[in-house]
Amino acid sequence: MAEKIQREENETRTSISLDTGIGEMPFGREELLTEEQAAHKREALRLFQSAYEAQMRGELDQAADLYKQSIDAFPTAESHTFLGWTYSFMGLTDEAIAECHLAIDVDPDFGNPYNDIGAYFIEQGNLYSAIPWFQKAMNAPRYESYFYPHFNLGRAYESLGRAYDALREYKAAIDLNPKYALAVRAFRTLQGKLN
């Protein structure tokens, strides 16, 4: 957590940068907050982490409730996106997409919800609708896993019969993360079909 202090018109604001504890993903963007706002954001992070743990245990109702509490404490794109992800596990794809839109409203720089919307459209069979969302994810300034939208765009292209476009995207995913086994397998399988 990085903190810098700035005084504005008799009000002290501190630059707050919190970490989710999930890989390198931060919790919300770095921003100047009052002491009260910072306390709310820290509480939101605590609730988010509890929600994530519940989600990983498969306790989806509890996870959804905790993500909602996190949003109530201090709305972040991460909490909306992960609530959407939880909804997707519950078979509530439309609700998952709605949460991703809310995440984008909170922080349009956060890449995860763009990728997730595209993935949910693939689940629904809306391949053409998915494509621009993956492209938006690839261009998001704040995203830790750019290989996901490349892989998912490859999936969409492959399903549309655009094999060479799919290979290009699978290769881009591999270039960004050589250990991403799904992309390696998809690339090799499709390459084998074309030979």
Cα-Cα-Cα-Cα dihedral sign, residues 64, 66, 70, 71? positive
Question: Is residue 154 within 8 Å of residue 169, measured between CB atoms?
Answer: yes
Residue owning tokens 């991403």: 180
Q: What is the per-residue pLDDT for 191?
A: 95
Is the per-residue pLDDT at 59 higher than 70? yes
Q: Where does the pLDDT of residue 9 fall: very low under 50, low under 70, confident under 90, or very high at 90 and above? A: low
pTM over 0.85: yes
Mean pLDDT, to the nearest integer, of 4-25? Answer: 69
What are the structural domains of the chain? 2-133 (1.25.40.10), 145-195 (no CATH)
Is the per-residue pLDDT at 1 higher than 50? no
Count Cα atoms within 13 angstroms, Cβ side, for 73. Answer: 20
Q: Which tokens go with 39?
A: 């306390």
Question: Please, what's the largest Cα pairwise distance for the chain?
Answer: 70
What tens digit of pLDDT does each residue of 61-80 get?
A: 999 999 999 999 999 999 99
Q: What is the per-residue pLDDT for 3?
A: 46
Is the per-residue pLDDT at 98 higher than 90? yes
